[in-house]
Chain A
Amino acid sequence: MSTIDFRTAIRDAIAAEMERDERVVFFGEDVAIAGGVFKATPGLHERFGEERVFDTPISELALSGAAYGAAITGLRPIIEIMFGDFMALPMDALVNQAAKFFYISNEQGTVPLVVRCAVGGGGRFGAIHSQIPGTWFQGVPGLKIVAPSSPGEALGLLRGAIRDENPVIFLEHKRLYSVKGEASPEEVIPIGRARIARAGEDVTIVSIMKGVGDALAAAEDLAAEGISAEVVDLRSLRPLDLDTVLASVAKTNRVLLVEEGPRTGGWSTGLLGAISESGLHDLDDAWILATAEYPIPYSPPLEDAFMPDAAAIAATVRERLGAGVAR
């Protein structure tokens, strides 16, 4: 175990996998010489050379098509799409080509590719540099969508994603890049399993990425007031680990889903539906804390009010549970 920040965890994961597997290549816009706009990948180009780590033109569609073509012909590409919002441009290569190939080819080949992108609000980047595109892809069979919450999760899950035989969209929340935490360089976390980030009795709070940290902070506050919250870190949106969520709800009987994004078409609405379908008998209460149904604003007070944070999570739990909790 060592203490590192999230961006270093990303770089360490790529370096470790490139070290162990010659087939791993990494490319994208400004990722090689400059080391990425969020400085997650400096040094990789020098260490692994131009053949394996290189800069590309500003061509999201071409570089995603290239990753898909490379993956079906024997390489294991990692690409970076600078901001998640730009994932609108390479949709065809990922949704129509990469996601379908394994199935429609009758399993002739696999598509081991990873698309990393920086996502999320809170950075004053405005409406078209702050979205979380995970749910755009969530309804596409064949794609995996991973969303780590801490340096340790980032390192292990990215290593798991690079070893995975399927196309993986790997979401990196911008507000996490400088966050420090414990990470084990050896750990490889398989994709698709949620994690209990904190055990509790009275209510289950489910989130991903930055939302997990916010939920943990809210749980601290609530504990001081005698409310015991369990926090579930989903870690991946597809596959979705419903079993872990249901087991937690069976214990606490209440669930709050915290989503940075609109509830309409969001992962939280789908998950709430699945919880009601399979765990209705365990439910005393269920609700969602999501963002408003308009694009993310730029001005600091507007953006701050827009984003779910620890205070908002704690406040909604307090309000929903009332002053005392019946045990």
Chain B
Amino acid sequence: MHRLFLKGEVHGTTHLYSGQEAVAVGVCAALTQGDWVAGTYRGHGHALAAGTDPAGLAAEMLGRATGVCGGRAGSMNVIDLEHGLLGCYGIVGAGMGAVLGAALSGRRTGKVAVAFFGDGATNQAYFHESLNFAQVLGLPIVFVCENNLYGEFTPLAASTAGGDIAGRAKAYAMNAEKVDGNDLWAVRDAAAAAVERARGGGGPTLLEALTYRHFGHSKSDPGSYRPPEEVEAWLARDPLVIARERLLADGVPVEHVDAAETSAADTLRRAVEAALAAPYPDPATEAAQEFAA
């Protein structure tokens, strides 16, 4: 996506998820069919982990007619209800509001709702109102904060009083946990416990996943405000590398791991090729309605 962006194929802006993959994958691995997920504008990872077809996602990011939203949503706003993706929210924090309602629905059907958001979003009214609302009503929600240490260009310390995001849940008497967000297994285990608690009527949980984005905030940002030693230290903890090492250490044959990596890369390559070959939506035949009948 980064390369396509530089080539001008991805329009507007885009926010890469590279470096944070273990969070979305770990959390979604703990969900079952029918559960709901709300992602962020950095939502490609959330969508893929939720089960969105990579070809439909790539086409949406490229504004093509074959996109999951027909090119109407774009990179920041992907919605895929079939896979429980309530939306990727271009407004910082908005997904937390949406999951409150999904959880009201979920209370009737035994489904759980998850909201992903960044550390910067914990300073939004959405965060504080939603945590309180969810806890008072005992809703089946997992709030997943991806703490990548920056909100756009501003470091956590300069934006977030107290600096302890999981600690903010204490004020609401909500279950909370800090977890290594670059360790897929750690994230999955913490999420599974939170999901089980939610499903069993035990109410919401706040998970703070410590992680890092490999690139700048968005397309136009080289991320040069970050100390090089810090970037280096986190690149060395790339969640994909950690996952590979763990699989090998657990005795999974290297051919299997290689095959999985190749197959994933192939799927993404084919998705992008198909998207590049797909037509743009045609304004002349676009049958857009303002209202649902």
Q: What is A's interface to B at a CB cutoff of 8 Å?
A: 25, 51, 54, 56-57, 59, 61-75, 77, 89, 92-93, 96-97, 100-111, 141-142, 144, 165-166, 239
Contact = CB atoms under 8 A, between A and B. Distances in A.
B86 A73 contact: yes
A70 to B, nearest CB: 3
25 contacts: A54-B137, A59-B132, A62-B126, A65-B97, A65-B98, A66-B100, A67-B101, A68-B98, A69-B101, A70-B100, A72-B101, A73-B36, A75-B105, A77-B101, A89-B125, A92-B91, A92-B126, A104-B69, A105-B79, A106-B72, A106-B79, A108-B79, A142-B290, A165-B293, A166-B291
B290 A107 contact: no
Interface of B: 36, 67-70, 72-73, 77, 79-82, 86-87, 89-91, 94, 96-108, 113, 125-126, 129-130, 132-133, 136-137, 288-293
A72 B86 contact: yes
Contacts of B289: 102-103, 107
Contacts of A70: 100-102, 104-105
Contacts of B113: 69
Nearest to A77: B101
Nearest to A63: B133
Contacts of A101: 79, 87
Given A56-B136, A103-B288, 8 more contacts: A65-B101, A69-B100, A72-B81, A73-B36, A73-B105, A101-B87, A105-B69, A165-B293
A69 B86 contact: yes
Residue in B36, B79, B98, B293 with the greatest tally of chain A CB atoms within 10 Å = B98
Contact of B104 (A66, A102, A103, A107): A66
Contact of A57 (B87, B97, B129): B129
A69 B102 contact: yes
Contacts of A166: 291-292
Contacts of B90: 96
Contacts of A102: 289, 291-292
Given A101-B87, A105-B73, A75 B290 contact: no
A72 B82 CA distance: 12
Nearest to B77: A104
Q: Considering residues B89, B94, B288, which has the most beta carbons from chain A within 10 angstroms of its beta carbon?
A: B94
Contacts of B99: 69
B69 A106 contact: yes
B291 A142 contact: yes
B101 A68 contact: yes
Given A75-B104, A92-B91, A110-B292, A104 B97 contact: no
A65 B94 contact: yes
Contacts of A71: 101
A254 B292 CA distance: 35
B98 A69 contact: yes
B126 A65 contact: yes
B90 to A, nearest CB: 8
A101 B69 CA distance: 11
Given A66-B104, A144-B291, A166-B292, A57 B98 contact: no
B130 A62 contact: yes
B41 to A, nearest CB: 12
Nearest to B103: A69
B73 A62 contact: no
A66 B292 contact: no
A207 to B, nearest CB: 24
Nearest to A99: B290
